[in-house]
């Protein structure tokens, strides 16, 4: 079978790379179309995954529209040459291109449709299958929606395949037991981030003051003030999850990294206008793994952060174990579904998808 993947964001690389590698191990062919967004291309290179960049990155409203149009035309050209049985990813192009080349389109999404209305409008119509975490089952996108008890981040951070490497401490220049925190500042330039506020410089100072005795590293997509520049995280992007796993806390305005920290058991704090609007983070909040506030309520978050820094490590371990008991390792099941979808496309039949496994424990 032949699979065409679209990786337009670093999070897509993490979610899809092990899927791609497992399909290759099973003897299937693949191609990857990528977008030059943040560290997407560096990650693909680090994981040894060749890719095709379809168009230069667009800036601003009209630049993004031009990029979108150019990518769709070139994506179609790539698909016509490769003749995939399935087009896979979080691609806005998948459904339309798949119909034109006789393939099936498979979307993965874990953001609420109400938060990303443009993506939902561009991507969902005509999609063959839309895979979402079961905390989005309430959206009811019809028979095409398949919900599973996990998150994107468990494709690559489930303990069945990810064991953090303590050697990352050496790469960070840390002493063996030196505590540290990780802060992420997003560019907030995606279409769904329009008008969205996150972590400001004044609050960043407050966090540094509140976490005295904890070394702070700042990963950022936007310029840093000179006073914060010595804290800039200088680490290969493929090592970020090792760093997250051993951090005393994560704080930022990034949805993806907040989820990653949470499933690793690292206390995650978020400042964003999107707090309360994303079902995945709301669910993780009920497990006590994420705490978020909108801008203007940072004082409440600082109090929770101070509490987390005094907490025994066993508490975070217990919260993570409770979460994992209620979730599955989604990777093997998902790869099986992709094979079934591609085989159905090759034979012109309807795909018969297996329901996801049931978690071992429900609490």
Same domain, 191 and 316: yes
Same domain, 240 and 312: yes
> How many CB atoms sit inside 10 A of residue 182's CB?
26
Mean pLDDT of 45-59: 92
Rounded distance between C-alpha atoms, residue 252 and residue 275, angstroms: 12
pLDDT of residue 200: 87
Same domain, 23 and 109: yes
Same domain, 318 and 336: no
pLDDT at 22 over 50: yes
Same domain, 38 and 7: yes
Same domain, 93 and 177: no
Question: Which helix (DSSP H) or strand (DSSP E) does residue 282 occupy?
Answer: helix 279-286
pLDDT at 192 over 50: no
Same domain, 176 and 123: no
Same domain, 313 and 178: yes
Mean pLDDT of 14-38: 96
Q: Is residue 352 part of a domain?
A: no
Give residue 194's pLDDT band: very low, low, confident or very high (50, 70, 90): low
Give residue 361's pLDDT band: very low, low, confident or very high (50, 70, 90): low
DSSP strand pairing (29-34 vs 2-7): parallel
pLDDT at 362 over 70: no
Mean pLDDT of the chain: 93
Residue 171 burial (CB < 10 Å; 0-12/13-18/19+)? Answer: middle
Whichever domain contains 226, its CATH number is 3.40.50.2000
Express the helix, strand and coil content of the chain in percent, nearest 5 each.
45, 15, 40
Q: Is residue 100 part of a domain?
A: yes
Give residue 339's pLDDT band: very low, low, confident or very high (50, 70, 90): very high
Q: Is residue 43 part of a domain?
A: yes
Q: 289: which DSSP letter?
A: S
Q: Is residue 76 part of a domain?
A: yes
Same domain, 124 and 225: no
Mean pLDDT of 305-310: 95
Pair of tokens at residue 181: 């925190």
Q: Is residue 265 part of a domain?
A: yes
pLDDT of residue 193: 47
Question: Which helix (DSSP H) or strand (DSSP E) does residue 181 occupy?
Answer: strand 180-185
Q: Is residue 256 part of a domain?
A: yes
Rounded distance between C-alpha atoms, residue 194 and residue 188, angstroms: 7
pLDDT digits (tens, 9 = 90+) for 204-233: 999 999 999 999 999 998 889 999 999 999
pLDDT of residue 190: 52
Asked if 19 and 103 count as a contact pair (C-beta separation under 8 A), the reply is: no
Rounded distance between C-alpha atoms, residue 79 and residue 58, angstroms: 22
pLDDT at 360 over 90: no
Task: Output the CA torsion sign for 261, 267, 273, 279.
Answer: positive
Q: Is residue 205 part of a domain?
A: yes
Same domain, 43 and 82: yes
Number of domains observed in the structure of the chain: 2
Asked if 20 and 103 count as a contact pair (C-beta separation under 8 A), the reply is: no
pLDDT at 363 over 80: no
| HSE-up (13 A, CA, CB side) for residue 312 | 3
pLDDT digits (tens, 9 = 90+) for 273-305: 999 999 999 999 999 999 999 999 999 999 999
Give residue 59's pLDDT band: very low, low, confident or very high (50, 70, 90): confident
Same domain, 126 and 211: no
pLDDT digits (tens, 9 = 90+) for 99-143: 999 999 999 999 999 999 999 999 999 999 999 999 999 999 999
pLDDT of residue 29: 98
Q: Which domain holds residue 263?
A: 168-324
Q: Is residue 357 part of a domain?
A: no
Q: 144: which DSSP letter?
A: T
pLDDT at 39 over 50: yes
Same domain, 178 and 205: yes
């Amino acid at each position: 079978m032949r699979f065409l993947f679209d990786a337009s964001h670093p999070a897509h690389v993490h979610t899809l790379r092990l899927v791609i590698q497992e399909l290759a191990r099973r003897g299937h062919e693949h191609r990857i179309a990528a977008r030059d967004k943040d560290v997407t291309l560096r990650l693909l290179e680090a994981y040894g995954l060749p890719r095709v960049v379809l168009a230069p990155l667009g800036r601003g409203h009209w630049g993004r529209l031009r990029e979108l149009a150019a990518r769709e035309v070139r994506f179609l050209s790539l698909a016509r040459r490769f003749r995939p049985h399935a087009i896979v990813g979080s691609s806005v192009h998948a459904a339309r291109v798949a119909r034109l080349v006789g393939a099936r389109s498979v979307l993965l999404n874990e953001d609420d449709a109400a938060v990303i209305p443009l993506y939902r409008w561009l991507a969902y119509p005509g999609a063959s299958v839309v895979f979402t975490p079961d905390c989005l089952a309430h959206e009811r996108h019809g028979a095409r929606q398949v919900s599973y008890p996990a998150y994107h981040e468990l494709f690559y951070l489930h303990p069945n395949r990810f064991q953090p490497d303590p050697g990352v401490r050496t790469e960070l220049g840390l002493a063996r037991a030196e505590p540290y925190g990780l802060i992420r500042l997003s560019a907030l330039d995606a279409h769904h981030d329009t008008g969205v506020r996150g972590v400001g410089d004044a609050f960043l100072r407050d966090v540094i003051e509140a976490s005295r005795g904890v070394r702070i590293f700042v990963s950022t997509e936007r310029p840093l003030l000179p006073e914060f520049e010595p804290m800039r995280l200088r680490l290969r992007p493929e090592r970020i999850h090792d760093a997250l796993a051993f951090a005393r806390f994560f704080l930022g305005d990034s949805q993806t990294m907040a989820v990653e920290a949470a499933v690793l058991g690292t206390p995650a704090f978020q400042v964003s206008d999107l707090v309360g609007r994303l079902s995945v983070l709301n669910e993780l909040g009920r497990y006590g793994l994420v705490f978020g506030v909108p801008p203007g309520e940072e004082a409440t978050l600082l109090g929770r952060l101070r509490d987390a820094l005094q907490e025994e490590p066993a508490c975070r371990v217990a919260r993570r174990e409770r979460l994992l008991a209620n979730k599955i390792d989604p990777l093997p099941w998902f790869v099986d579904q992709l094979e079934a979808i591609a085989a159905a496309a090759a034979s012109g039949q309807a795909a018969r998808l297996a329901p996801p496994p049931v978690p071992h424990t429900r609490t």
